[in-house]
Structure 1
Amino acid sequence: MKKYDAIIIGSGPNGFAAAITLQQQGLSTLIVEGANTTGGGMRTKELTLPGFKHDVCSAIHPMAMASPFMRSIPLKEYGLEFTQATYAAAHPLDSGDAGVLYHSLEETAQHLGVDARTYTRLILPIINRWESLALDTMGPLRFPRHPLDLASFGLNALKPATWTASSFKTEKAKALWAGMAAHGIQPLSNWATSAIGLVLMAVGHRYGWPIPKSGSQSIADALAAYYISLGGEIQTGCWVKDTRELPQHKILILDLTPKQVLRVEGLQLHDSYRKQLRKYRYGMGVFKVDWALSDATPFKDAYSQQAATVHLGNTYDEIIRNELHSHSGQVVEKPFVLFAQPSQFDKSRTPEGKHIGWAYCHVPNGSIVDFTTHIENQIERFAPGFKDTILARHTFNPTQMEAYNPNYIGGDINGGVMDIFQLYTRPTLSLTPYRTSNKNVYIASSSTPPGGGVHGMCGFHAARFVLKDHFNIDVML
């Protein structure tokens, strides 16, 4: 069989990022994927009816163009196109008011009224310094290139989201903030939960929240096309249970979470390292629903009708309470729902005149409770008549989500809880978390810094260590 410098297991964004980074330096690489198609969390399928293209996992991609790695490669030349909604996100309230994330910082601030100055003070420095902050935050712990910028960001980012919320006066601003911070999938009273909210808002103003035309699979397809153009090879439909069955290679990179790593035979990992992996903690799961719809979702709020993502959780207090209850294992009747409507802005997703809906809520890890009714009731609450537009639906509970993509342990789409204890010390307490106890085996999944999302930075950093450790090559973005 052919010999490779490196084999990468897993073709999610991080697997591709690792493989591309190595291939760019002239190494011979092979990506091995268990499923029949590449993509990991970037796949698009007809889950409900013929002609309705649903994003199986991620649909809207705030970090795709905010990522230094993704911006460094010519994906547009390989067929990737993004479109933007009128508004990046909206957050309707029962009162009839709504928080809105405009593309413009100034318009967002103005819409928040008396909270305009507070919002601008929080977000503007991140927008202005994102290029340096991205390099210093989207990777392992290290001495920052721009320490003053990072220190300024860290003072706000490390706070619990509940502390930041107290800076706002209006219910609209507090609700918008809570919806953003809730993307972190953990109680908003946890330390460092402000980080995700600050970043999502800032990159929304700088890059928007892009929607890939024809579905998230187009990101995977562009990554694959670029990788192959560099001479890389891909093998799909091959679940690796024992590394000794692989072609001969010098380096093995795993786009796998710790629980999966422990299941793979032949890695020759030290017992002490395996013990550390067993202590790794996973977070809440998600229950996801996709719909084929006869019409656009009839939100009462005009902003929500034209937003890429709509956060459905009503007030700050309601979101805080329900996310905490979900985290503690309770079944919440009115969960916080993240709803996306890509067909509003990309007509290639559905037959003419039809639409799709995409939504999930946070649930206890591994839950088998059916949350379909809970989610649909939340949508109906803010979009009366939504249920009448449903032509067909497809659901994923956390267990089914894991069966579909083994990286999603118990439905955890972040590859492990991203709290203060695992924000950077993931999957182990190490300044070089991509290395394992076997000098020829590396981890590149979202269980390494900077964690979940379609950004490829975990894979890039893993490949950077491989190049430095074994080939005396130093690469930077």
Structure 2
Amino acid sequence: MTVPKAKGPRRTRRPVQGDAPDAVVVGSGPNGLAAAVVLARAGLDVELYEAADEVGGGLRSKPLFRDDVVHDICSAVHPMAAASRFFREFDLAARGVDLLLPEISYAHPLDGGRAGLAYRALDATCEGLGPDGPRWRALMEPLITHSRALVDLLLSDQRRPPTDPALPFLLGERVLRHGTPLAGRQFAGPEAGALLAGVAAHVVGPMPTPASAAVGLLLGHLAHGSGWPVVRGGSAAIARALAEDFTAHGGRIHTGRRITDLREFRRSRAVLLDLGPKEFLRIASPFLPAGYRRGLQSFRYGPGAAKVDYLVSVPIPWANPLVGRAGTVHLGGSQAEVFRQETLVSRGVRTDEPFVLVVDPAVADPGRAPGDARPVWAYAHVPNGDDTDPVALVTARIEAYAPGFADTVIEARGISAARMEHYNPNYVGGDIAAGAVTMKQALVRPTLRWNPHSTPLTGVYLCSAATAPGPGVHGMSGYFAALSALRREFGLRNAPSLAPVPGRP
């Protein structure tokens, strides 16, 4: 395919065999797949390489203990897939991917059987929070009103002003109140404070901070809007839909191929890497300018996630039965306890009461629980690189709020934070966010460049969660990197349509 070479600023030339595709994508997580879809839909000849034996990265699902029970291996709940611009245009529903919404998006149980409950319905949430209901409404309702613009701003490439002039004020004052020590003074009762702290803890870092507040506001308001869905049959359905669209537009996928040298693709016009800084350095370090290399080497990683997959005989016996209607459950105690535990873990201190996320996907997808068995998914936040098997630790945390849970466990498999990096090399030390989510690394991710997806090597782009806009199954890092490559390397300035094509996957 012959296309004009885009003009642009002078960059260091990539070390440059035979016929080669126009573009190559390395890594098939949601961002790599998104990038591949965009490039193929633009008419380019594209090949995708994946080190594992199947595509998907954090979107893999498979049976672990029984052939008829599917477990999500990494991501299980997908608020970003329901809200991001890429997936809005890609239209998962039209491709047969069902995003199933529980009545309660997330819950946060407390001692004594109390719990904060984030219903999809804002009215029901506020009613359940009693005296704090009006405060919760005042916090969330304006964000819900401006939701699309808010999502597009926070899931942007951080180079453009907001399209909605109200957003800086709405975000600024809320981040100030909930991302500083003022956070402990915003609610009268324990439920509302814990409810917001639990969702903010998805930042996986010290709390409270402006970054944790921004994450809490983004995910928190979506709980009352497009929701926190699980995927019917497992998260891998999203990866399959992306891969099917890519191959339907001429793309070719190579699995079981771990790339060891960037020069393998020296004749392709564009190379997009769904790799973190550590992996990029592994395949390209000798060719990178010293300053840029030092920038990547100084990239910070956050705490790790230790995963437990359970096969259980019955639904989790929560002390508060309403918690059992939530798709996601946060275990961390009071707001102050969540702040303390997350801050300690971010400092490398292992505790006996870590913050834990629990998902029972069959709450929204009953087909995941055939007969007398159902999957339960859980993560604990632990220090980066922690090598402790988490099964006993996580089981004890669930048992504290669901007495008798241990008796329902048929089988369990633990993966330490250290082992998470073996599953996916982008998860350095078990950091599933592919880099600490701090205010600095939200704006400068992975290094200081006007275009965060470009590199000093001609035609080489980064598109992993280590680039803007950061972690989550949203596809936007891949989307932005692909648009940049189309513009700079091929002179193509119009984004291709992502809508399903009648008669094709």
TM-score bin, normalised by smaller chain: over 0.9
Q: Are the counterparts in 2 of residues 445 and 459 from structure 1 also a CA contact under 8 Å?
A: yes
Q: Are the counterparts in 1 of residues 120 and 223 from structure 2 also a CA contact under 8 Å?
A: yes
Unaligned runs of 5+ in 1: none
Distance 1:467 1:333 in 2: 49
Instruction: Check if 1:136 corresponds to 2:153.
Output: yes
Which residue matches 1:236? 255
Q: Are the counterparts in 2 of residues 162 and 188 from structure 1 also a CA contact under 8 Å?
A: no
Pick aligned residue for 1:400 from 419, 440, 463: 419
Which residue matches 2:393? 374
Unaligned runs of 5+ in 2: 1-17, 498-505
RMSD value, Cα: 1.7
**Letter paired with 2:33:** F
Pick aligned residue for 2:341 from 296, 299, 322: 322
Shift of 1:231: 1.8
Shift of 1:142: 2.2
Question: Cα deviations across residues 446-465 of structure 1 (Å, max 9, x unaligned)?
Answer: 00111000000111111111
Instruction: Check if 1:65 corresponds to 2:82.
Output: yes
Question: Cα deviations across residues 369-395 of structure 1 (Å, max 9, x unaligned)?
Answer: 233222111101111111011111111
Pick aligned residue for 2:312 from 290, 293, 308: 293
Q: Are the counterparts in 1 of residues 118 and 125 from structure 2 also a CA contact under 8 Å?
A: yes
TM-score of the aligned structures, taking structure 2 as reference length: 0.91
Shifted more, 45-54 versus 284-293: the winner is: 45-54
Question: Cα deviations across residues 30-85 of structure 1 (Å, max 9, x unaligned)?
Answer: 11111000000000122233322111101011111111101101333333112121
TM-score of the aligned structures, taking structure 1 as reference length: 0.96
Q: Are the counterparts in 2 of residues 161 and 178 from structure 1 also a CA contact under 8 Å?
A: no
- Specify the SS of the correspondent of 2:211: coil
Instruction: Check if 1:466 corresponds to 2:485.
Output: yes
Which residue matches 2:27? 10
Instruction: Check if 1:121 corresponds to 2:153.
Output: no
Shift of 1:314: 1.7
**Letter paired with 1:139:** S
Instruction: Check if 1:102 corresponds to 2:122.
Output: no
Shift of 1:343: 2.0
Q: Are the counterparts in 2 of residues 80 and 213 from structure 1 also a CA contact under 8 Å?
A: yes
Aligned-residue identity in percent: 38
Question: Cα deviations across residues 252-289 of structure 1 (Å, max 9, x unaligned)?
Answer: 00100001100014883222111110010000001110
Q: Are the counterparts in 1 of residues 104 and 118 from structure 2 also a CA contact under 8 Å?
A: yes
Taking a change above 3 Å as real, the CA distance of residues 266 and 233 of structure 1, as seen in their structure-2 partners, is farther
Question: Cα deviations across residues 104-156 of structure 1 (Å, max 9, x unaligned)?
Answer: 11211221111122211221121111222222221222231425233123304
Distance 1:282 1:9 in 2: 21
Instruction: Check if 1:448 corresponds to 2:467.
Output: yes
Instruction: Check if 1:261 corresponds to 2:313.
Output: no
Pick aligned residue for 2:103 from 72, 86, 110: 86
**Letter paired with 2:418:** T
Shifted more, 161-170 versus 106-115: the winner is: 161-170
Shift of 1:2: 4.4
Which residue matches 2:11? none
Distance 2:398 2:370 in 1: 23
Q: Are the counterparts in 2 of residues 14 and 458 from structure 1 also a CA contact under 8 Å?
A: yes
Taking a change above 3 Å as real, the CA distance of residues 156 and 41 of structure 1, as seen in their structure-2 partners, is farther
Which structure 1 residue ranges, 4+ long, deviate > 4 Å from structure 2? none
Q: Are the counterparts in 2 of residues 47 and 53 from structure 1 also a CA contact under 8 Å?
A: yes
Q: Are the counterparts in 2 of residues 49 and 392 from structure 1 also a CA contact under 8 Å?
A: no
Shift of 1:165: 4.2
Distance 2:266 2:65 in 1: 38
Shift of 1:3: 2.3
Which residue matches 2:41? 24
Question: Cα deviations across residues 291-327 of structure 1 (Å, max 9, x unaligned)?
Answer: 0111111111122111100111121122111112212
